[in-house]
Amino acid sequence: MAGPDDDRDQDRSGSGYGSSEDDRWNQQARGETPLQREDRRYAELLQEVRVAQTGVQILLAFLLTVAFSPRFTSLQPYHRTIYVVTLLLGSGATALLIAPVAIHRLTFAQRLKPQLVRVANVLTVSGLTLLMLTIGAALLLIFDLIMDLNEAILLSLLVMGWFVLWWYLLPLWMRTRRKADDSADSAGRGHGRRREDREDREDREDRENREAEPIQ
Put simply, whether the predicted model's pTM sits higher than 0.85 gets the answer no
Average pLDDT taken over every residue of the chain: 81
Average pLDDT for 34-46: 85
- Ramachandran assignment for 109, one of left (phi > 0), alpha (psi -120 to 50 degrees), beta (any other): left
The tens digit of pLDDT for each residue in 148-195 reads: 989 999 999 999 999 999 999 999 999 898 887 777 766 666 555 666
- Confidence band for 12, pLDDT divided at 50, 70 and 90: very low
Q: Which residues contact 159 (CB under 8 A, 6 or more apart)?
A: 135, 136, 139
The 10s digit of each residue's pLDDT in 61-76 is 888 888 888 888 888 8
Please say if the pLDDT value at position 11 is more than 70. no
Does the pLDDT value for residue 110 go beyond 70? Answer: yes
Domain limits, the chain: 14-174
User: Quick one: pLDDT band at residue 2, thresholds 50, 70, 90?
Assistant: very low
